[in-house]
Amino acid sequence: MRRYLSLAAMLFAVAVGGSPLVRAQPAGEMKIDDQPGYVPAANEKMPAAYQRQAVFFRSSAPAGTIVVHTSEHFMYLVQGNNRALRYGIGVGRDGFQWAGLLKISRKSEWPDWTPPQEMIEHQPYLPRWMAGGPGNPLGARALYLGGTVYRIHGTNQPHTIGQAVSSGCFRLVNNDVIDLYDRVPVGTNVVIRHAASL
């Protein structure tokens, strides 16, 4: 069985452009579909644990690397000297979590949204295209991961941070994705880890 899973992971990696990706399963998920057009209330808050903060973080990754821990629902921007900025994130739901090493291939402000076919199959009511803006599920910024369909992006659903709800992308509240966007250039290394893949 283990060999079969390894082969399946390698085939998936080739299918998404040769990137070294490995699928993993989440511990739990929240049943929330995307809500195109929804604009959150200005006073909508996240739990304190998921708010952006400087933390102790031991890592061999060089400063400027983004490290995603999907099982913990945290993203770290390595600062060096065992420090990092930690962001609370929403991650992929059951069957949409993965691990690997990619680079940010491009960045976009208030990106337009074209849901991939996998999302359309799961949520057939979704629009086939939506202009960028406050009600767009990609939020204020998007950082594209290699040649895959995956992104680090904002969200119009701040209550989903800390949950397993996406189709494989990593979502942050808009203030946090703007902060991250301004700190990292195209070409930044992104390491995605899941407990099952360590």
Q: Which of 17-26, 28-37, 39-48, 143-152 has the highest mean pLDDT?
A: 143-152
Q: Which of 69, 122, 159, 169 is catalytic?
A: 169
Q: Does residue 122 carry a catalytic annotation?
A: no
Residue 69, strand partner residues: 74, 193
Domain coverage including residue 89: 2-197
pTM as predicted: 0.76
Here the tokens at position 48 are 């304190």
What total number of domains does the chain contain? 1
Of residues 86, 73, 55, the one with CA closest to residue 195 = 73
Minimum mean pLDDT range among 2-6, 74-78, 93-97, 149-153: 2-6
Q: What CATH number is attached to the domain comprising 119?
A: 2.40.440.10
**Any residues with CB less than 8 A from the CB of 106 and at least 6 apart, and which?**
143, 144, 186
Burial class (CB in 10 A: 0-12, 13-18, 19+), 106: exposed
Q: Rounded distance, CA 198 to CA 188, Å? A: 21
Half-sphere exposure of 126 (CA within 13 A, CB side): 20
Here the tokens at position 114 are 């074209």
Q: Does residue 194 carry a catalytic annotation?
A: no
- pLDDT number for residue 18: 37
Half-sphere exposure of 131 (CA within 13 A, CB side): 1
pLDDT at 41 over 80: no
Here the tokens at position 64 are 């400027």
Q: What is the mean pLDDT of residues 115-130?
A: 75
Q: Which of 50-59, 88-97, 108-117 has the highest mean pLDDT?
A: 50-59
Q: Which of 69, 73, 122, 153 is catalytic?
A: 153
**Any residues with CB less than 8 A from the CB of 136 and at least 6 apart, and which?**
36, 110, 111, 112, 113, 130, 156
* Cβ proximity of 172 and 89 under 8 Å: yes
Q: What are phi and psi of 111, to 5 degrees?
A: -70, 150
Q: Rounded distance, CA 100 to CA 39, Å? A: 32
